[in-house]
Chain A
């Protein structure tokens, strides 16, 4: 346990150095990182009615935005071998904000995330119970096609996985199969702009996506996800395979993206959660321990287990 915590701290140190070198976000320590993220995020998070925190957050109705982007009720996920990865998860995600899900390895955070656009079904024998309401409609309801769900709730994966096609086609393909009728060149350009990749690739749109660096590939994957104009983008540890500089670029990007999309990000990097998210959920062995605005969760955790985790005592 201690070993893991040390490693994590080392990783953070490297990442921060990278940020300093870039001159973007100079963050000498975790605490200031949290403060900084919280400063920007506090107002919005409070406004979305998440002040109450904890697992009862879902019950508290959002104050000003109508329905939440996603409303999860008693979500229970078990794998083929009977292992219950997620237990009775109830929480709601406010619109146009970044919500981070943190927790130690194996806590079910990725499983929960993949349940939000029905990607778990690809793993044979997964049993899902409970409801995930999107615009008031259960995505697990009868007659709901998972393909439609994924069209509105996109996903970015842990490892950059662009299609083995050109950069242009990587963006255009998803839009085309979804029946996009507008100007494709324009869509590609605007998607790449939104992913802060346009300037780097505008001269090589016809080249293979594999010619890009890992960080560029991941931003391409983000551009691909938003090119079909989803409402929610799920991100499953999107920076864990990237170097510190690429990581910081993607973190900067999230701030921009949340103006248009709802972002749910799973991360094992607490500092990242602190930097990028408006609210944070802490999962442990499949259970939601605490869910609160990020600043509150990090500075004033209500649950002892949360405190132990964020202070590096385990995980």
Chain B
């Protein structure tokens, strides 16, 4: 059908591809094609992102499980007593076994630390493990090698340590969580770093949340739009992009050095329990992380407060409420879900921070678990960083296991955020 005849006949459009009135070019097919190409592009980026994430988790999991080959200085089988193998001996027999294999002076020292009679079987067994058997890790294999290269592993064992013990080990285990730090990979745990991380984050939240939300309320509800407020606003945006190590320097100069009497707990008369923390305490770390995430918390809270409709404020003011009553009874309840979501996301960032804490002075080795704001500290990311820097391969397995724990902590923090948000959303919907 030609254009002229269509015009003359004034036929209804047929919705065909070539159907267009005079002066219009049929282009729907081309437009759709362009849209389809974009759609594929977006699909690709999503798939790629998911792939990267899966690869990351797979590699961590891969490192966290696998075969371990250890060589004992003394074969545990040789430690039998009265015909009973090590595992079946009672506490008394175990103490005797221990006494036979360590020097008298060392035994006396152990006795002085805690009398043998007061120790239970598990304690004694692990003591024997550490002091008598002294199993050394000769080699470790990751999960994929352990599954698909069993023959090679066995060959390696035959060639290098036929008398050694080969066993499958999950590096993530209860002992990892409950053991203190140790230079022995088989016995090293992350109890101190986990407690350190949790305490640091707790104080970070306690400092950053009220400060951040308070600043956001001030900026959104109380300030007038002026040159000064715009400068402050711009600076907050810029501070959100400052590298974290810079905050570490600030923390070192200001909190650790400048406010030492305060951050070491000296002015409160506390903080003496592990002495010499010199301001390199949990409190310093928390303060540093708090100012690190403060800009993000403020910006998130501001956005949340901005999203509260103006009509809600007006309706409150119109019944004679004061500004503060309006903020407290209406603006905050209406924005709390988004404020908290933003804050928790910022806090998860703080949980994973390493660089500023290295600068602030995280301890590499803790003899005692941190107990409060004035304790020396180390955190999970610091521990992971140190383990990956070690030359021995087995510490990389440990690091992978610790990463899994850290990821789990982060996930539970985010899950808590989602639960909180849904709770407040529901309340908002129901109008409670």
Contact = CB atoms under 8 A, between A and B. Distances in A.
Interface in B293-341: 309-322, 325, 329-330, 333-334
B321 A221 contact: no
B321 A165 contact: no
B302 to A, nearest CB: 17
Nearest to B323: A147
A124 B428 CA distance: 29
A178 interface: yes
Given A122-B313, A161-B311, A163-B312, A117 B429 contact: no
Given A154-B319, A209-B431, A210-B431, A173 B311 contact: no
A162 B333 contact: no
A255 B321 CA distance: 28
B320 A155 contact: no
A208 B320 contact: no
A163 B330 contact: yes
B319 A228 contact: yes
B329 A173 contact: yes
Interface in A138-190: 147-148, 150-151, 154-155, 157, 159, 161-166, 169, 173-174, 177-178
A55 to B, nearest CB: 28
B319 A157 contact: no
Given A174-B320, A177-B320, A221 B315 contact: yes
Given A157-B311, A164-B333, A164-B334, A150 B318 contact: yes
B112 interface: no
Nearest to A118: B317
Interface in B221-242: 224-225
B357 to A, nearest CB: 41
A250 interface: no
A150 to B, nearest CB: 5
A154 B319 CA distance: 6
Contacts of B432: 165-166, 208
B430 interface: yes
A147 B318 contact: no
A225 interface: yes
B315 A162 contact: yes
Interface in B376-432: 428-432
B319 to A, nearest CB: 3
Contacts of A159: 311
B315 to A, nearest CB: 4
Interface size class of A (residues with CB under 8 A): 20 to 34
A161 B431 contact: no
Contacts of A155: 314, 318
Interface in B58-81: none
Contact of A174 (B313, B319, B334): B319
A201 interface: no
A199 B309 CA distance: 30
A119 B315 CA distance: 10
Interface on chain B toward A: helix, strand, loop, or mixed SS? helix
Interface residues of B, number: 26
Given A208-B429, A210-B429, A161 B312 contact: yes
A225 B333 CA distance: 21
Contacts of A173: 319, 329
A154 B315 CA distance: 9
A224 interface: yes
B318 A225 contact: yes
Contacts of B321: 147, 174, 177
B314 A151 contact: no
B314 A119 contact: yes
A228 B430 contact: no
Nearest to A164: B431
Contact of A124 (B224, B313, B429): B224
A54 to B, nearest CB: 31
Interface in A82-113: none
Nearest to B313: A122
Nearest to B322: A147
Residue among B224, B225, B317 with most chain A CB within 10 A:
B317
Interface string A196-228: 000000000001111100000000010011011
B215 to A, nearest CB: 20
Contacts of B224: 124
Contacts of A154: 318-320
Contacts of A178: 319-320
Contacts of B312: 161, 163-164
Contacts of A124: 224-225
Contacts of A147: 317, 320-322
A154 B330 CA distance: 18
Interface in A243-299: none
Given A159-B311, A161-B311, A164-B431, A150 B319 contact: yes
Contacts of B325: 177
Given A163-B316, A177-B319, A228-B319, 20 more contacts: A119-B317, A147-B320, A150-B318, A150-B319, A155-B314, A157-B311, A161-B311, A162-B315, A163-B312, A164-B428, A173-B319, A177-B321, A177-B329, A208-B429, A208-B430, A211-B431, A225-B318, A225-B319, A227-B319, A228-B320
Q: What 5 A-B pairs have minimum CB-CB distances, sorted nearest first?
A: A208-B431, A174-B319, A151-B320, A155-B318, A161-B311
Interface of B: 224-225, 309-322, 325, 329-330, 333-334, 428-432
Interface of A: 117, 119, 122, 124, 147-148, 150-151, 154-155, 157, 159, 161-166, 169, 173-174, 177-178, 207-211, 221, 224-225, 227-228
15 contacts: A122-B310, A147-B322, A150-B318, A154-B320, A155-B314, A157-B315, A163-B431, A164-B312, A164-B330, A164-B428, A166-B431, A173-B319, A174-B321, A208-B430, A221-B315
